[in-house]
Amino acid sequence: MKILPRAVVVVLLVSCLHAKVERTMIGTLMLEDIPPIPEDLKQDLQPYLDTRSAFFRDWLPSDAGILIRTRLGEVSQLHLVEYPKAYRKQLTFSPEPLSFAAVCPDPNTPFFLYTADQAGNEKDQIYAFDYRTNASFMLSDGLSRHNSIVWSTKGDMFAFASTMRNNKDFDIFLGTLKGTKSFQCIGENTGYWYPLEFSPDNTKLLLKRSVSSQESYLYILNIKTRDLVPVNPVKDRVSYWSAAWSKDGKSIYYVADEVSDFHQLTRYDIATSNKQVLTSSIPWDINDIEINPSGDTIAFISNEDGMDKLYFYNTKSRTLTRASLPSGSIYGLSFKPDGSELALVLTAPRSPSDVYSLNLKRNTFTRWTYSEIGNLDTTAFCIPELFHYPTFDSCGGEPRMIPAYIYKPNQKKSGYPVLIDIHGGPAGQYTPGFAPLTQYLTTQMGIAVIAPNVRGSSGYGEEYIALDNFRKREDAVKDIGALLDWIAQQPDLDASRVCVAGGSYGGYMVLAALVHYSDRLACGIDVVGISNFVTFLENTGKYRQDLRRTEYGDERDPDMRRFLEAISPLTNAHKIKDPLLVVQGLNDPRVPVTEAEQIVKAVRKNNQKVWYLLAEDEGHGFARKSNRDFYQYVKILFLRKYLLRE
């Protein structure tokens, strides 16, 4: 698609299949058939858009503080917080949003590494930042994809994965602060490989190879000899999540679904191959493991029906304890280099993501950051309720139950319109955190928001996550149909006013729901969604094609190609009879812009109303605040018109 030159505002009438489409350019945003945004809407929504969050990235040595990611301007950057409640000192000023950062563990090397792409293209480059002089410079080639950077324990080198050999496969490299001239490939691979951690003596690397969300492998790579030894070589398929070395280098602690439907923490002895499951008493998925420097404590999170719990395993006494923390989502675990504190990020429906630390000896819980919520009264925010609804099939002789969260307005009336918020992945999971726009919908617009974890979601066991694979793809769509049945049975919900919304794979689910249930839906919002599985698989980035084929099916097989074509929303676009909002980033390497353009064209052919918002400087989602804010204006205006029917 040819993008018009940038301008403040350009309005054109474009002929589209005998209809006139109004196209407007506002800076880097292209709008088609989207009405002007009322000023009162902007003013009402702005306090919710101006909230902030903070995310832990790493500890600095010698009690110098922590690195966090937060946004004070247009995009997220890296900041220094020297002590709890201290001023956030912005360190990086990149025009691109930054997320990853890793501090060199050698205090005499005052650098951290970070990555940045260009306008959402996900070709992340490696940068070094001197936090004493604030000097920053790029280390990588500026062309390839680089990710999964880990420092050696001494801080004299780092490992990373890169596609620089063929722009498809991820090889393993070593590098130093000298940049590309120091980069050394130590493992050529086929597929998606990445380093997890150096061994304590820095002679080996723990690697992971991902085949799909349900199949992966661990290996130990000898850096000197390049020998590659599998960890836990078994015949059955295993899905590994987190993994780390024991501090004596004799064992690997990993989280896998080898012995249970859920992922369990296991100790694997390298010399004997003996295994010991450490969390069999917790019938939920374990993730995000972190081992303290002395090796006697392992911190990890248990995902218990969508709610996170923090546990500690004592490797000497072999006992489990659970931390008493406020309810919410927990992630980003990281022990301080001296082992005295554990950093984490905590968020809840009434609290934005902020950084905390837990002192294990003093048993104290300290808040480091206080993210702004403006003049919002978050005590009035809705606390979502977890419920389960029956779907079309059975499990164990009983109706299969689908977990979901519902945000209900506090207004004293019935007949609330409903927005169904469908997560992406597909192996993602909705968990309740700080979501100011959801709260705006609920508290200000009187819309009930339901976030289902349909089959294929993670967090509920490997059997559940596999229920939508390959030819079972539309069974997940049927779960949305069952949710519509449940909504129709609720006296306080209005089944005649239901919108479906979602991003990425959730965008596909939106389009598929509109295909199957247009007569029961009012409208849909598709953000960077898949419209045709065949064209998606053919055009998604080469580095991720095989990963996606293991989930959806291989379009190169004639029978599977016919099936994928048959179930694709684009093939069935003539069945979509509801207004549609489509949102897309031009530089999206995952779901290319062509997926949006073809569904927009096809649905308009039905004489259905389609609003289309395209950002020139975004990729798989909107990372720039001005773009994201404008999208939210459009979303609210769309819901006012087609869901609330104002």
> Going from the N-terminus, what domains does the chain have, and what CATH number goes with each?
7-12+27-49+376-617+632-642 (3.40.50.1820)
**pLDDT tens-digit series, residues 517-541:** 999 999 999 999 999 999 999 999 9
146 DSSP assignment: E
Q: Is pLDDT of 643 > 80?
A: yes
Strands of 227-306, DSSP E: 228-231, 240-245, 251-256, 264-269, 275-277, 285-291, 297-304
Question: In the prediction, which pLDDT does 19 show?
Answer: 63
The first and second tokens of residue 425, run together, are 């992945």
Residue range 274-291: average pLDDT? 95
Specify whether the CB–CB gap between 518 and 498 falls below 8 A: no
Question: In the prediction, which pLDDT does 410 show?
Answer: 85
**pLDDT tens-digit series, residues 90-112:** 999 999 999 999 999 999 999 99
Q: Is pLDDT of 13 > 60?
A: no
Q: Is pLDDT of 156 > 80?
A: yes
Proportion of the chain above pLDDT 90, given as a percent: 91
- Distance separating alpha carbons of residues 285 and 306, to the nearest angstrom: 10
Average pLDDT, the chain: 94
Question: In the prediction, which pLDDT does 14 show?
Answer: 53
Element (H, E) at 55: strand 54-59
- Distance separating alpha carbons of residues 102 and 355, to the nearest angstrom: 16
- Distance separating alpha carbons of residues 477 and 336, to the nearest angstrom: 45
Peptide bond into 558 cis (omega under 30): no
Q: To 10 degrees, the CA torsion angle through 485, 490, 496, 502?
A: -70
Question: In the prediction, which pLDDT does 1 show?
Answer: 40
- Distance separating alpha carbons of residues 31 and 22, to the nearest angstrom: 8
Using DSSP bridges, classify how beta strands 385-395 and 364-367 pair: parallel, antiparallel or unpaired. unpaired
The first and second tokens of residue 637, run together, are 């205006």
Query: What backbone phi and psi angles, to 5 degrees, belong to 533?
Result: -65, -35
512-523 burial, b at 16+ Cβ within 10 Å, e below that, comes to bbbbbbbebbbb
Q: Is pLDDT of 474 > 60?
A: yes
Specify whether the CB–CB gap between 548 and 516 falls below 8 A: no
Which region, left, alpha or beta, applies to residue 446 given φ > 0 means left and ψ of -120 to 50 means alpha?
left
Using the structure block, give the residue that is written with the tokens 């661990």. Answer: 218
| Angle in degrees, CA 230, 233, 239, rounded to 5 | 95
- Tally DSSP H helices, then E strands, for the chain: 10, 39
- Distance separating alpha carbons of residues 571 and 602, to the nearest angstrom: 9
**pLDDT tens-digit series, residues 17-73:** 446 889 999 999 999 999 999 999 999 999 999 999 999 999 999 899 999 999 999
Residue range 169-188: average pLDDT? 96
Question: In the prediction, which pLDDT does 3 show?
Answer: 41
Residues 6+ apart with CB under 8 A from 107: 61, 62
CA distance to 101, 176, 229, 251, per residue, from 222 (Å):
26, 18, 8, 15
**pLDDT tens-digit series, residues 336-395:** 999 999 999 999 999 999 999 999 989 899 999 999 998 899 999 999 999 999 999 999
Residue type, 543: Y
β-pair partners for 351: 348
* Secondary structure of 78-133 in HEC code, one letter for each residue: EEEECCCCCCCEECCCCCCCCCCEEECCCCCCCEEEEEECCCCCCCCEEEEEECCC
Residue type, 427: A
Q: Would you give the distance in Å from CA 433 to the centre of its chain?
A: 13
> Could you give the 3-state DSSP secondary structure of residue 226?
coil
> Could you give the 3-state DSSP secondary structure of residue 443?
helix
**pLDDT tens-digit series, residues 300-316:** 999 998 899 999 999 99
Give the chain's radius of gyration (CA, Å): 25
Query: Closest by alpha carbon to 392, among 402, 383, 384?
Result: 402
Residue range 238-247: average pLDDT? 95
Q: Is pLDDT of 129 > 90?
A: yes
423 DSSP assignment: -
Q: Is pLDDT of 5 > 70?
A: no
